[in-house]
Amino acid sequence: MLAYYFDLALRSLKRNRALTALMVLAIALGIGASMTTLTVLHVLSGDPLPGRSGSIYYPQLDPQDMKDYTPGVEPPEQLTWTDGMYLLRAKRATRQALMTGGMVPLQSAQSSIDPFQAAALYTTADFFPMFGVPFKYGNGWGAGEDGSKARVVVITSDLNDKLFGGKNSIGQILRLKEAAFRIVGVLGDWHPNPHFYEWYMGSYASDEDVYLPLSASRDLLMEHDGSTECWGNSGGDQSHLETVNCTWLQFWVQLDSPARVAAYNDFLQHYSQDQHAMGRFMRPPNVRLRTMMQWLDHIKVVPSDTRLQTWLALGFLAVCLINTVGLMLAKFMRRAGELGVRRALGASQRALFGQLLMESGVIGIAGGLGGLLLALLGLWLVRQQPADYAKLAHMDITMLSATFVLAVGASLLAGLLPAWRACRIAPALQLKGN
């Protein structure tokens, strides 16, 4: 039966090639535009650590003075050294890491490569196990190295390829800001998107080249980039960042159960209360404990132009679909005579409905295929853009299947009203009219 309907649909579509082409093209354009923008949105709002992100949290405290204070105001995005070190050492979470980024001049002792600026992340030992960072060679460092301000460094596999031709470089020496650092680990393939833990470098920017202990970076007074928010009379003097009233560190914790999340929230509240009572925090306790995905949403990691483009494309799809509904309606109603004959010869309304839906489904599949090609072209165009997220714009299996579901679903939906109208015609009236 379906094969017969399919045959009928093809015959009918062939009879009016221009109209068929117009309908297919409209659906293809609508689907192509929406899938391009939806794929970009999907990539940008994706989960950087699938399976892990649910238990990663971003605590915030409010150590500022009372200026501009209103109840419920958002606390600063980062922590001060004092608070960060306290939370780090309290070890109330399963794992916790404190971090900030910067640029350091890098010289390699062995290779003939000119010194260059390397993007560095200054962090603490738990960074690697907490985020599940894979290693190609060696390992991260431990709490002991954090405490002793050890000159150890973990490098990315890209940098390892560049400096050591991809060979195991554990134990080799790199000069960072004129100081000798020993390589203890080489990362495997790890490119979380968005670059969630240090978003000041650009949310979709490429990853760092080197990772080294925060304590060692302070010891050498390495440049800290990104934002430094100060209040009162404090300035962001790079050499006294440990004592000033400035927030400049990001802190992530891993909390494995709802009970631990609640306990950690209480811990932040109590700490704020104690600091308030001591007079160090002027403001009453004002804490936040967002999950990673809530945090990314909060800092609006997806560019507003991308969201605007998605809405534009969806509006475009709506117009294309309405267009298709109108054309299909016209086409089906025009075949009233043929349908009347079929009804008179005993075809049920259901059978006619099925036949007409099959016809719109065929248009949907053709439009979906065209839309897929257009979306691939659109994504290729996006990748030619200079934006830092551009190179990520690839279609995955999820979006591929979503494209087809959307195309066929949309055109079946578009065929619903015309098919229903067309199959309800009274056969006698049509036959008499002829």
> For residues 262 and 330, which CB has a smaller minimum distance to other proteins in the complex?
330
> For residues 270 and 334, which CB has a smaller minimum distance to other proteins in the complex?
334
CB 170 within 8 A of CB 185: yes
> For residues 110 and 401, which CB has a smaller minimum distance to other proteins in the complex?
110
As a whole number of angstroms, the distance between CA 158 and CA 46 comes to 24
DSSP state of 308: H
What's the closest the beta carbon of residue 270 comes to other proteins, in angstroms? 31
> For residues 40 and 399, which CB has a smaller minimum distance to other proteins in the complex?
40
What's the closest the beta carbon of residue 257 comes to other proteins, in angstroms? 36
Task: Give me the residues paired with residue 185 across strands.
Answer: 138, 154
**H-run or E-run covering 342:** helix 336-344
> For residues 246 and 253, which CB has a smaller minimum distance to other proteins in the complex?
246
CB 210 within 8 A of CB 120: yes
CB 432 within 8 A of CB 346: no
| Packing angle of the helix pair 349-383, 2-15 (nearest 10 deg) | 70
CB 422 within 8 A of CB 333: yes
Instruction: Quickly tell me which residue has 């200079």 as its tokens.
Output: 386
What's the closest the beta carbon of residue 3 comes to other proteins, in angstroms? 29
> For residues 21 and 262, which CB has a smaller minimum distance to other proteins in the complex?
21
Contact footprint for other proteins (CB under 8 A): 19, 22, 26, 29, 33, 67-68, 105, 107, 114-117, 177-178, 221, 223, 233, 235-239, 304-305, 307-309, 312-313, 315-316, 318-320, 322-323, 325-327, 329-331, 333-334, 385-387, 417, 421, 434
What's the closest the beta carbon of residue 88 comes to other proteins, in angstroms? 25
* Strand, helix or coil for residue 94: coil
> For residues 22 and 261, which CB has a smaller minimum distance to other proteins in the complex?
22
Q: By C-alpha distance, which of 161, 162, 183, 165 is closest to 174?
A: 183
What's the closest the beta carbon of residue 414 comes to other proteins, in angstroms? 10
What's the closest the beta carbon of residue 250 comes to other proteins, in angstroms? 21
- 61, 67, 73, 78: CA torsion to nearest 10: -30
What's the closest the beta carbon of residue 354 comes to other proteins, in angstroms? 21
Phi and psi angles of residue 232, each rounded to the nearest 5 degrees, phi first: 65, -140
DSSP state of 76: P
